[in-house]
Amino acid sequence: MKKLVLLFMVCLMMTACEKEVIGEGYPEMEGFYVESCGLPTVTIDSVKLFSTKVNNYTTEFPESKEHSLYPKIQANIKSASLRITIECDTTWDGETHINF
């Protein structure tokens, strides 16, 4: 009976350790996420550089794409990349009269 209880406890400990090892990992992804939240305030060139940095990291560590923050980082990059800026010159050169 003691062997059975001991075996059961060992199985529990092994699965608990396995979950700890398999966990999220890749603390860099948290830094990438924090940085990606500020992307709407930077230039498009900076967004491209950040995207390249994340892509290089995920190429080196492919399993990092399984991190729970990876989809959020990609969404932030995508939303910061799609910008339309319309500027209007509000100064007038004078009035233009058109007669018909």
**Domain coordinates in residue numbering, the chain:** 44-83
More confident residue, 42 or 90: 42
Q: pTM (2 decimals)?
A: 0.62
Please state, in angstroms and rounded to a whole number, the distance separating the CA atoms of residues 49 and 32. Answer: 12
**What pLDDT does 68 receive?**
93
Mean local confidence (pLDDT), 29-52? 94
Whether the CA torsion 86, 47, 70, 31 is positive or negative: it is: negative
pLDDT band at 80 (very low <50, low <70, confident <90, very high): very high
Arithmetic mean of pLDDT over the chain: 80
Mean local confidence (pLDDT), 65-82? 94
Nearest to 66 by CA among 26, 28, 21, 33: 26
